Structure 1
Amino acid sequence: MTASKTILYIAMSLDGYIARLDGSVDWLFDVEGDGGDNGYAAFYQTIGSVVMGRSTYEEVLTLSEEFPYADRPAYVLSRAEQPPAPHVQFTTEHVETLIPRLKETSEGDVWIIGGGLLVQSVMETQLLDEIEIAIIPKVLGEGIPLFPKGTSPALLRMIRTQTLGQIISIRYEVRRSPASRGFITG
């Protein structure tokens, strides 16, 4: 059995934002892709569980009448206890213990959906294995950055690129030092 990976799979504007300042991702829906789902269905088939922050969860709920990840274990990180919700498990557990546990028990890879603070935390704890970014050809000018100020430095190795209409998708492997198991930073 292949070990599960932790993967950040996310869309980003050309200037590095994953959402507008109010959390909206409306700017994603009028870009010319490849005419299909831009590889999403194939990616989703590899996923065993999903992890997202509470703000991302709330934005996902505005995008569809049905929760799109109801067929997978879904964890929503929150700093405070939340009332139960269908299809998700709210948790105050830190990513440092949650992610390794999910990698052990998940029947597929662990998808880090967002947002920026979750990405920052997963990178800081050196738990991210791969990053796939779909670069959307738009400049937002301001918004929620993919990598907030203070994100741990990391060296990545490109393992794949794809052109999907006007979208460029880049898959990176997060490189780690064999001795320290930390990120290689130079």
Structure 2
Amino acid sequence: MTSTVYYVASSIDGFIADRDGRLDWLLEFGMEDFSPHYEAFLENVGVVVMGSTTYEFVLGEGLEAWPYDGRQTRVLTHRDLPVAVEGADIRFESGDVVDLHAEWVEAAAGRDVWIVGGGAIAAALADAGLLDVLDLTIMPVALGEGAPLLPLAGTRALEVQATTTYPSGAVGVTSRLT
């Protein structure tokens, strides 16, 4: 069964990017600790959804290959953006995420829909009751300000399913939204 999952890392004070939209603070931790969890998660992803800011960040990383190869990527935007990755299945769309959600689930073909970024997309889905899982890694750093993790319009209850402590001091919390 398809779940819509917001798989994300945040600072301990709830930001997914710093005030300049950068992730340098996150990348300093290295990804070795998190690779097994990430790889297991990614195996069950059929569709990747991100906003234009996340898309531009990924393109700016100078990657040799699209990191979500073999999965359809939906980029939410009202702007013209470059498709700079040959052979990647990247589709640009605009509109209400609630209206687009059913298309993502269908395209996922029984696998999960991963909300990569940003927090506003995940919050809109959560507010509409369409976000199933928050798979959050809380990094041991405080940013003070930046892009919020999940700017909800109202209160949402979460049921913790699992926790993981990493050698870096990060804590993973997987929760189902109720």
Fold-level similarity (TM above 0.5): yes
1:106 alignment partner in structure 2: 108
Give the RMSD, CA atoms, in angstroms. 1.8
Q: In 2 relative to 1, CA 97–36 (structure 1 residues): closer, same or farther, beyond 3 Å?
A: closer
Q: Normalising by the residue count of structure 2, what TM-score does the alignment of the two structures yield? A: 0.88
Q: Normalising by the residue count of structure 1, what TM-score does the alignment of the two structures yield? A: 0.84
Unaligned ranges ≥5, structure 1: 176-186
| Structure 2 SS opposite 1:89 | strand
Unaligned ranges ≥5, structure 2: none
Residue correspondences, number: 171
Q: 2:128, 2:170 → 1: CA distance? A: 30
| Structure 2 SS opposite 1:39 | helix
Give % identity.
34
The residue type paired with residue 118 of structure 1 is I
Write out aligned runs for 1:22-171 (5 A): 22-31=20-29, 35=33, 37=35, 39-65=37-63, 66-78=65-77, 80-83=78-81, 85=83, 86=85, 87=88, 88-107=90-109, 108-148=111-151, 151-165=153-167, 166-171=169-174
Q: Is the 8 A contact 1:8 1:113 kept in 2?
A: yes
| Structure 2 SS opposite 1:23 | coil
Q: Is the 8 A contact 1:18 1:145 kept in 2?
A: yes
The residue type paired with residue 22 of structure 2 is S
